[in-house]
Every structure is written in structure tokens, then in C-alpha cells.
Amino acid sequence: MANYKKITSLSLLTLLSLATFSATQYSKVYAQDPESSSSVNIKTIDGQLAIADKEAEPLYKEMDSIQMNIEKIKASRFKPAEIAITTEIQQLENLNETLLEKFYQKIGNRIWNTKEEALNLISETTLSPSEKELLKDYFNKDEVLRKKLKENDLLLDQETAQYNAKLAILTQQADKIYEKHGITKDILAAYYMQTGMEAD
């Protein structure tokens, strides 16, 4: 989105409306219906895309500007904290690497989804009391750091909420432009399958 030329070459539908479509999904759909991809006229779609891209150009430029503002806010006010917290998490893991490996060997294929579940697994192992305490301390500290990281992300979302809302509105407007020129999700899916391009 920060690169206008890239955006216009793919169209907004591929960036946002088709973001949930994967190449695997495309393959499954058109493997079941071989006529779908062959029914797309590449030259016609190229022409329609060119017209739609041109009409949507002002929207793309506005979106670029908004995205740049979001990135500036993130870089100046949130990225430093993200880097610092992530570094702390990694250092904590490195410091306890040997003990963690020993813990993983003890529990085998068992997994956990919460800190409480991890602490229960620690209690069930045959690790020494001191090792168990060190592991519990690790998981407690790790949880605190990850909460800080999540809070930082939430603050960024709150700070940029108005920008993101505007992007959503512009996205809808651009989608309508492509639909007006006959560029639907199904057509684009077939188009990218046939041309071998990726929709991202």
C-alpha cells in the first residue's frame, strides 16, 4: 500500500477484498471447475483493470498518504517499545534455553495454551524443586512481557483507529469502481490463476 505502482498493478480488490483468498483455494476451485479459468479473456480483463486502476488512482494516492501517517506514528511512538519488549522476551528465552529444553523433553508431545497450563505441566514433571521454580519464574516473566507487547499493539490500534476507518471507507469505494467495470472477485481469481500472478 505504501508503493503506489505496486497497488495499481494488482488493483485494490486483490489487496483487500481478495486478501482472504489463497492460491490453494484458487487451485481447489478451478480444479473442480476447469472451465472457469479458461472462460476468462485475459486481454479483456487487462483492459478493464487498466480503466479501473486509472479511475481509482486518486483513492490509491489518498490511501498511500494515510498509510504513511500510520507508519510514522508506529515508528516514532510504538516501534521502539515493540523492539525493546521483543528483545527482552528473546533474552529471557536465551537465558533459560537449557532448562526449557529439559522441560520439553520431560513433557514430550504435551502442549499448553495458557500460563496456568504450563505451570501445571511443570508441577507434574520430575524436575528438581529448584528447576521447577526457575521455570515458573520464566513463564511468569514471559507472560508479563507479552502482555506489555499486546498493550503496545492495542495502543497503536487505538491511536490509528480513525486512519484505519478511513482506509476501510476508501477500500469500499475502490471496490465499487472495479465492480462497476466488471471486475469481480471470481473473475480476478480466475484471472490470477490463468496468468500465474499472485493476489496479495
Per-residue pLDDT reduced to its tens digit, 119-174: 999 999 999 999 999 999 999 999 999 999 999 999 999 999 999 999 999 999 99
Measure Cα distances from 133 to 84, 102, 129, 142 in Å: 26, 14, 6, 14
Contact between 64 and 141 (Cβ < 8 Å) = no
Which three three-digit cell numbers place residue 166? 478511513
pLDDT at 184 over 90: no
Contact between 42 and 191 (Cβ < 8 Å) = yes
Per-residue pLDDT reduced to its tens digit, 4-61: 333 444 444 444 444 433 333 333 343 344 444 446 788 888 999 999 999 999 999 9
- Separation CA 11–CA 63 (nearest Å): 13
DSSP class of residue 125?
S
